[in-house]
Amino acid sequence: MQPENLSNREPEFKNMEKDTIILGVIGADCHSVGNKILELFFTAEGFKVVNLGVMVSQQEFINAAIETNAKAILVSSLYGHGEIDCQGFRDLCLEKGLDRILLYVGGNLVVGKTPFEIVEEKFKKMGFDRVFPPDVDLKKAAELLKQDIKARFGSDSHGPRNDDQAGQPEKSSPETDAGTSKARNPKAG
């Protein structure tokens, strides 16, 4: 049998060629306002945004990224427990076969007045590619995201076919190694 006529679905196909990113607030964090703003902003920037909302677990981020063949996961944390919630996130990604995915994190990541440089280093050690303070310029963040996607997935990163980052849990790309990500990373924000 023939698949349905797909040609009259052009607009949707255009949407399918956008880079998918996963968005959500991690842990027991219910702050939903910023999350909605991020969704609107990144959609306007041309991304296909899958917003998982508040109180999202690591596993949920990863499940959504696998099904959608996402290029990046953007983790928000606003209630100060981000460090505990994000522990082991990169490892779990590798475990589940997402060995090239970009991991971004931002918000009020720790309680108290820790200098941002220290916070950033902490999260980079955990395997996050970029770490953002609460007052980040979103425009800049979006530019960095576009650059990073291009660098990691190549110029031919668009389109539904190119999803070779999934399914090979045993082959971890050295690119995503937490230790090396710092070198490529200009100061965020």
Active-site annotation holder among 19, 29, 85, 148: 29
CB of 156 to other proteins, least distance (A): 15
The residue within the footprint of other proteins, chosen from 66, 101, 119, 131 (CB under 8 A), is 66
Number of residues near other proteins (by CB under 8 A): 38
The answer to the question of residue 17 lying near other proteins (CB under 8 A) is yes
Task: Report CA dihedral (129, 133, 138, 143) to the nearest 10 degrees.
Answer: -30
The answer to the question of residue 8 lying near other proteins (CB under 8 A) is no
Cβ atoms 56, 12 nearer than 8 A: no
CB of 20 to other proteins, least distance (A): 7
Apex CA 48: angle with CA 7 and CA 178, to 5°?
130
Active-site annotation holder among 31, 81, 158, 163: 31
The answer to the question of residue 28 lying near other proteins (CB under 8 A) is yes
Question: Which residues between 102 and 131 bind other proteins (CB under 8 A)?
Answer: none
- Tokens 């539904």 identify what position? 160
**29 part of the active site:** yes
Task: Report CA dihedral (163, 164, 165, 170) to the nearest 10 degrees.
Answer: 150
Cβ atoms 18, 25 nearer than 8 A: no
* 139-to-38, 44, 112, 145, 166 alpha-carbon distances in Å: 11, 11, 27, 10, 29
Q: Which residues bind other proteins (CB under 8 A)?
A: 1-4, 6, 12-13, 15-17, 20, 28-31, 48, 50, 52-55, 57, 60, 63-64, 66-70, 79-80, 160-161, 163-164, 166-167
Which residues are identified as catalytic? 29, 31
